[in-house]
Amino acid sequence: MCIAIAANLLVSRYLFAVAKKTDSVALKADAQHLSTDIYSSLGVLIGLVLIKITGLTILDPLIAILVALIILKAGISIIKETLNDLLDRTLPDDDIKVIENIINDCKNIYGFKNLKSRKSGSTRDIDITLLCEESMSTKECHEICDILESKIQEVLPNTLIAIHCEPYKQNI
């Protein structure tokens, strides 16, 4: 049982690392599943040791309930994260803030509107409407878009970005 715990611990830590690197919900779910196996095995081991030491057989169902609650919590977490990806949830607030800061730091634009985002699997999709000076050439707008795309992709890899520029006349 100790060998199984150690093996599951090593494999689950590796899967968590790969899941984080690849942004894979499936690998993260598998790593969480292996983690619940660790808790189950530890629960059984601790239960057996405590019952042997104390003679209190009531510890067996109490530890089983505790392990079941841990597994239930992990299952709910897996379901929640998987459903969010299947339903194309918006990007986390931290990612949106990063995107807004990059846009706001950009020169020669007056801001943006209609920032839309979603996450599908490991891919992020972002749609932005930039407000550019109405006298800007198409080439200038395109250069700004390229710069923004590069900066966003540098911070948020595996991102598909669509930028639309609209003319904006500043009221004087």
Q: What is the CATH number of the domain that holds 157?
A: 3.30.70.1350
Q: Which residues of the chain have pLDDT under 70?
A: 85, 88, 171-172
Do 98 and 80 share a structural domain?
A: no
Distance CA 161, CA 148 (A): 9
pTM for the whole thing? 0.61
Distance CA 112, CA 59 (A): 60
Do 136 and 66 share a structural domain?
A: no
pLDDT tens-digit series, residues 152-172: 999 998 899 999 999 887 765
Quote the domain boundaries for residue 57: 2-86
Domain final residue, candidates 55, 86, 117: 86
Among the listed residues 124, 126, 166, 125, the one whose alpha carbon sits nearest the alpha carbon of residue 144 = 166
Do 80 and 9 share a structural domain?
A: yes
Query: Domain tally for the chain?
Result: 2
Do 152 and 124 share a structural domain?
A: yes
Cα-flanking dihedrals φ and ψ of residue 97, to 5°?
A: -60, -40
Q: Which long-range contacts (CB under 8 A, 24 or more apart) does 4-13 make?
A: 4/37, 4/41, 5/38, 5/41, 5/42, 5/45, 8/34, 8/35, 8/37, 8/38, 8/41, 9/38, 12/38
